[in-house]
Amino acid sequence: MYEVLLLLHNLLRWFVLLFGLWALLRPEPRPGAFFAHALTLQVVLGLLLAFVSPLFQGALAALGEVMRAGGEPRYFVAEHWVGGLLALGLAHAGLARARKGQGARLLFALSLLVLLLSIPWFRPLLRL
Using H for helix, E for strand and C for coil, what is the string for the chain?
A: CHHHHHHHHHHHHHHHHHHHHHHHHCCCHHHHHHHHHHHHHHHHHHHHHHHHCHHHHHHHHCHHHHHHHCHHHHHHHHHHHHHHHHHHHHHHHHHHHHHCCCCCHHHHHHHHHHHHHHCCCCCCCCCC
Q: Is the pLDDT of residue 49 over 80?
A: yes
Q: What integer pLDDT is reported at residue 55 of this predicted model?
A: 74
C-alpha to C-alpha distance for 8 and 108, rounded to whole angstroms: 23
Q: Is the pLDDT of residue 59 over 70?
A: no
Among residues 92, 105, 107, the alpha carbon closest in space to that of 24 is found at 105
Q: What integer pLDDT is reported at residue 29 of this predicted model?
A: 96
Higher pLDDT: 126 or 35? It is 35
